[in-house]
Structure 1
């Protein structure tokens, strides 16, 4: 959808749904292997420039943002509304799982340019992202919901490496979810993104995720699993783990299921099994954001920066897409050269960033609240046609 020069595409959702974002490049495996022909195993791929044929018509900033503002339920506000600390914690676990989205083999989002931003609102939740570093690539996210008293702060640095039969991207950095009325902060990490070429091409989120709340002493250990060789539905996109009281290491709940289907938790004392996450309810048939205020869109807005590239990808005009993408990348290199000659360091507009060898990259929002955005996610409609949130 093209509106006032901005190109908005359907968010990443459950597979099998028709959307303008579900583009697959032809002869994918052959083309990818050709692209990686001169790349050595173990190489960092952050500087690899992909031809537009391998790109989704959206930036990585949009993908990060969609995982927060695109869903069909009040799963985030539920975290703040639960009465007990244990209920809030299990809701946070469910919300963390909801940020995982099925990805398509053979296509990837654009690498954001330095200073690129993405600003979207969903109801009272306002989300702002900024690319605060280009080499290495670091993305900061700040989201606030003044009504539900919720704040989210992310700082992500993806590190993709080629290992011959697969590419593995370690998503470094931490995610914070704060429930302000309860003075609770939940700190968590992200699983790794693994793209396999052999024996069966596919994309999986794999690895361990830890979710901790220091104020309540609760902790979750989750393991995201996938197929290594032959496809096995029981393993594909499965998740196993437990929720424990860290002071005693006593297990309270056992977590089991598939993050793209149903996830349950079992009370180890009573044996009661409860569904804590239903992917079909949360991330199926997601709404495409729309422009609410064209005059409020910044020149750094991701959907505007990449608009010409995205438009040509959607129309499969590959020569024009390549030309538009090259212009953006050349401008990025030119600005980097100018800054180096002047001895200037980039200062992000919306975040204060820090880095240390011990703790890696971290970011702090410059403003307490994120303001309403010019791009909004339409309200979800109930089955009878009325609005449900």
Structure 2
């Protein structure tokens, strides 16, 4: 990182070494004996990793943290929900084309990140099952939660289920917003080119204030890829009255339109697309059946291998542009060299950067200090594989010794408790991390 003359932080825009080619390695050769199994418990060859720990990947949620600040600045509760919902969608944008698997965090591993908009810390609080907890704050918002991912091989695809809730608090308004992220699926793991799809329903709930909610649907690709990447839904009040229509693509943008404007646009579209000789009731039933069938086909895997060798491309002839819409979020263009560096965004490029003055104050359990991740970033594949194996074996030995100990092991920065908004079990930040009192902690390499 460099500091420019005007005081702005300038982070690196590439990695030390370009990505190692995976062309000679078959993901199918690893997964063929893992159908239906939980992949977080399977040791994967390092060539399928990207040089980030899952803790670092998790904080990519915050790439567009300015949307949370903008939400806090709105006096209209509907406008606040618009920006919160846009942030919830934007957090998934970096997943597109990211086909490398992040390294599984070690028990007790931490990662911190400071940016002008926030400061954040996360910790691996459990190894089996794997649970990662995070907490970020600023003068405008608090963002926290925990993720216990489930990764399954389903025959011709790998599905990532990010179990757990995330919470945003806006102290200025006495409001909190909660939601769970949708599933992510990597297709064509047997044959063909890998590609990513996100699908499911995301419900953003506002606790306190006006009691609004946003119901967003991430759509499967559908017929002729008409709905590839698309997400849409409504902001509704407690009486379920539709207030705003949100729409866009989780890879590109989110817009907002008045519910009335959307209704008029949809009515005009139906009139343009409906053949004059087709009764509208019959057509509506057919469309409902067709969409249900397409969703079922997209979300279920057959036992037959997928013979498609092409990455789907969106149907550009099908565009939604509602008059009077407001753009809430647009994804930043990826660096021109992104394909050489694991399809990283500019934000992701900076996450493992070990700055010159950082070692003296960095927590010794920080992800940046992991030798296997560092070696992969530097292009030492054999060294990364050896270190990954060594750390995994040490982790197993540590777990065995902890089982014999009377007090066991406890996370340092988070504790289990009840989320005051969801009323469900969660991991809550203990505080104290930024006091920089780390003398009692062991280095991540010998933990």
Confirm or deny: 8 A CA contact 1:52 1:318 kept in the other structure.
yes
Give 1:345 shift: 3.4
Give 1:354 shift: 4.7
Q: Secondary structure at the match of 1:371?
A: helix
What is residue 241 of structure 1 aligned with on the other side? 233
For the structure 1 residues 219 and 370, does the alpha-carbon distance in structure 2 shift closer, same or farther, using more than 3 Å as the test?
Answer: farther
Q: Secondary structure at the match of 1:109?
A: strand
Give 1:31 shift: 1.2
In 2, Cα distance between the equivalents of 1:176 and 1:80?
14
What is residue 32 of structure 1 aligned with on the other side? 27
For the structure 1 residues 370 and 80, does the alpha-carbon distance in structure 2 shift closer, same or farther, using more than 3 Å as the test?
Answer: farther
- Within the candidate set 330, 335, 347, 2:410 is matched to 347
In 2, Cα distance between the equivalents of 1:275 and 1:264?
4
Confirm or deny: 8 A CA contact 1:199 1:229 kept in the other structure.
no
Deviates further, 274-283 or 199-208: 274-283
In 1, Cα distance between the equivalents of 2:17 and 2:174?
39
Which digits, 9 at most, give the CA deviation of each residue in 1:316-353, with x for residues without a partner?
Answer: 33221111111111111111010112244331111111
Confirm or deny: 8 A CA contact 1:126 1:370 kept in the other structure.
no
Which digits, 9 at most, give the CA deviation of each residue in 1:240-289, with x for residues without a partner?
Answer: 111111x2111111121112112212202355321111113799643725
1:288 matched to 2:350: yes
Which digits, 9 at most, give the CA deviation of each residue in 1:290-319, with x for residues without a partner?
Answer: 535321111110111x2x223332343322
Q: Larger % of helix: which?
A: 2
- Within the candidate set 82, 85, 95, 1:93 is matched to 85
TM-score, with length taken from structure 1: 0.81
Count of residue correspondences: 348
TM-score, with length taken from structure 2: 0.71
Confirm or deny: 8 A CA contact 1:116 1:130 kept in the other structure.
yes
Q: Secondary structure at the match of 2:56?
A: helix
What is residue 363 of structure 2 aligned with on the other side? 298
Q: Secondary structure at the match of 2:396?
A: helix
1:251 matched to 2:242: yes
Q: Secondary structure at the match of 1:295?
A: coil
Give 1:25 shift: 4.2
What is residue 325 of structure 2 aligned with on the other side? 273
Which fold has the larger relative contact order, with Cα–Cα distance below 8 Å and residues 6 or more apart in sequence?
A: 1
1:54 matched to 2:48: yes
In 1, Cα distance between the equivalents of 2:161 and 2:256?
27
Mark the runs of 5 or more structure 2 residues left unpaired by the alignment: 2-10, 263-323, 336-344, 438-447
In 2, Cα distance between the equivalents of 1:281 and 1:104?
13
For the structure 1 residues 26 and 365, does the alpha-carbon distance in structure 2 shift closer, same or farther, using more than 3 Å as the test?
Answer: same
In 1, Cα distance between the equivalents of 2:330 and 2:18?
22
In 2, Cα distance between the equivalents of 1:320 and 1:313?
8
In 2, Cα distance between the equivalents of 1:349 and 1:322?
28
- Within the candidate set 137, 156, 161, 1:165 is matched to 156
Correspondences of 1:1-389 after superposition (within 5 Å): 23=19, 25-27=21-23, 31-40=26-35, 42-68=36-62, 70-71=63-64, 74-100=66-92, 101-104=94-97, 106-123=99-116, 125-145=118-138, 147-148=139-140, 150-197=141-188, 201-215=194-208, 216-227=210-221, 232=225, 234-245=226-237, 247-270=238-261, 272-280=324-332, 285-286=346-347, 288-289=350-351, 291=355, 292-304=357-369, 306=370, 308-354=371-417, 361-367=425-431, 371=434
Q: Secondary structure at the match of 1:353?
A: strand
Q: Larger % of strand: which?
A: 1
For the structure 1 residues 248 and 21, does the alpha-carbon distance in structure 2 shift closer, same or farther, using more than 3 Å as the test?
Answer: farther
What is residue 309 of structure 2 aligned with on the other side? none
In 1, Cα distance between the equivalents of 2:44 and 2:260?
52
Which digits, 9 at most, give the CA deviation of each residue in 1:4-60, with x for residues without a partner?
Answer: xxxxxx89xxxxx966698364227x61100012113x2211201111101100100
What is residue 379 of structure 1 aligned with on the other side? none
For the structure 1 residues 196 and 281, does the alpha-carbon distance in structure 2 shift closer, same or farther, using more than 3 Å as the test?
Answer: closer
For the structure 1 residues 37 and 344, does the alpha-carbon distance in structure 2 shift closer, same or farther, using more than 3 Å as the test?
Answer: farther
Give 1:210 shift: 0.6
Q: Secondary structure at the match of 2:246?
A: strand
Bigger Rg, structure 1 or 2: 2
In 1, Cα distance between the equivalents of 2:18 and 2:240?
43
Confirm or deny: 8 A CA contact 2:20 2:379 kept in the other structure.
no
Mark the runs of 5 or more structure 1 residues left unpaired by the alignment: 2-9, 12-16, 375-389
Give 1:370 shift: 6.2
